[in-house]
Structure 1
Amino acid sequence: MTRSTEGRSTESSLRALVSVHDLMPETMPAVRRTLKRLEHHGLAPVTLLVVPGLDWTASGIAELRQLQRDGYRLAGHGWRHHADRLGGLYHRLHSLFLSRRVAEHLALDVDGIIGLIRRCHAWFGDHGLDAPSLYVPPAWAMGGVTLEQLRESGPFPLYERFDGVMVAEASASPTSQLQRLPLLGYEGDNALRVPILRIWNHWNRHRATRTGRPIRIGIHPHDIELRLAGELERDLARPIEPIDYDALRAPP
């Protein structure tokens, strides 16, 4: 889809990896509203992060298939998006200040993380969906698994964590194995998060402009209704060149 430039700023465009997080049966109405805003700004289709281990109905799976037919890329996003138990001190602090109880990986050892990732990947094929190339752990918290372990045992070629995107293909060069990319977020669901996210987003816009690297725009289903909705709208209205995560992969 070609974006209209009428009334837009003449500032240089940013290459952006745009993703909508937390596709679950209960969030689909909010996701649909978010996709309409992205379509309004000429930024669809984008990457959609699906949480597979929930109560998906046949109609929900059919909607995911239709989204793929419409050009949206599905990605794996954990299993249940909830940690039944908290791990050590780091996980407890992470849960308190950042992730609440969604960072599933932080409660697991390496075998548990790999098992969860493999189960997530298999779910798509089991339900007649195209296999995703991207996996994003909830809260971008990959846990104690290394790139080497993911390359050896993980089924996805791409993994996104908080600081960037890991390319787990054997053909990836050393410089492309971890691509550190700026990240914008808008989940301002309480008064404390709002100023922190504003400072964070300002810094990451500056990083993207200064380095010329793609910027990641991570949108949660209710962000268009939360306290940073206006900032999200302004960012979506900026000159943006959407790119797909597969553009980060090693050439064949």
Structure 2
Amino acid sequence: MSGSGAAPPARLSIHDVMPATLPQVADIVARMHAHGLPPATLLVVPGHDWDPAGIAQLRTWHEAGHALAAHGWHHRARHIRGLRHRLHAATLSRDAAEHLALTADEIAALMQASHDWFPAHDLPAPDTYVPPAWALGAITLPALQRLPFARIETTAGMLDVASGRTEHLPLVGFEADTPLRARALRTWNRGQIALARATGRALRVGIHPHDRALKLADDLEGLLAELGRAGTARAA
């Protein structure tokens, strides 16, 4: 972990859990176990070709203590919609910010379908929703309160839907596939870790399936090792 001082409390999540990424997710779960870390929250993308073996794997992970959260539907925007989405795609999300291409009604319908997929496949209904790329899009709080989720995670932190209050929490990520993205993310992560240490707020650690093969793999491994030694991590 960059910087000095004790490891902050941390909340761990593994993103983009879908049939094509299950081997990589299993590898990350194994590395977390090797570091003595607790189970993470697994962010499941329902709108793919899940077969019975994949569903069984999700059930096995849940039974081992991993929480399941809903994470969009396809995790891919159908088009780039407007200036905000264009800037977000260019700087952060590329084509992953699924919500930003949708109207408010379409976002609500997608979130409801994402929730309903779990009990339809004999999995526990999720109470947490994480929009792809943490981009919630143009949906109001009253509309969110009509949906079955208690918490929604955005870039800023964890939104308690009933109260409308957001718990602002630092966030680090490691999905860097170019030198420029690696430099930018490393700088961002250092600042976020420093903020977590200074404020005592929990550090959200968002892990993506291919992070261990990308340019910040060593940073991720070092952070997991330190959190394991400190014993401060839990599911997001």
Q: Do structure 1's residue 106 and structure 2's residue 100 form an aligned pair?
A: yes
Residue 83 of structure 2: aligned partner: 89
AA paired with 1:40?
A: A
Match of 2:152 in 1: 159
One-letter code of the match for 1:160?
E
CA-based RMSD of the aligned residues comes to: 1.4
Q: Secondary structure at the match of 1:145?
A: coil
2-side partners of 1:13 and 1:94: how far apart? 31
Judge conservation of contact 2:48–2:74 (CA < 8 Å) in 1.
Answer: yes
Distance 1:32 1:181 in 2: 27
Question: Quick one: structure 1 residues 240 and 201, their matched pair in 2 at CA, closer, same or farther if it must change by over 3 Å?
Answer: farther
Q: Tell me what 2:234 maps to.
A: 243
Asked if 1:72 is matched to 2:66, the reply is yes
What's the counterpart of residue 38 of structure 2? 44
Q: Give the distance between the partners of 2:59 and 2:100, measured in 1 at CA.
A: 31
1:147 deviation in Å? 2.8
Contact 1:35–1:44 (CA<8 Å) still a contact in 2? Answer: no
Greater than 4 Å deviation, 4+ residue runs: none
Q: How many residues align?
A: 230
TM, length-normalised to structure 2: 0.94
Partner SS, residue 82 of structure 1 = coil
Sequence identity (%): 46
Contact 2:5–2:197 (CA under 8 A) maintained in structure 1: no
| Unmatched tracts of structure 2, length 5 or more | none
Which ranges of structure 1 fall in alignment gaps of 5 or more residues?
Answer: 1-9, 246-252
Higher RCO (CA 8 Å, separation ≥ 6 residues)? 2
The answer to whether the 8 A contact 2:39-2:234 is kept is no
Trace 1:180-195 onto structure 2 (pairs within 5 A): 180-195=168-183
Q: Is the 8 A contact 2:13 2:235 kept in 1?
A: no
Offset at residue 44 of structure 1 (A):
3.1
Q: TM-score, normalised by structure 1?
A: 0.88
One-letter amino acid matched to 2:174: Y
Correspondence for 2:117: 123
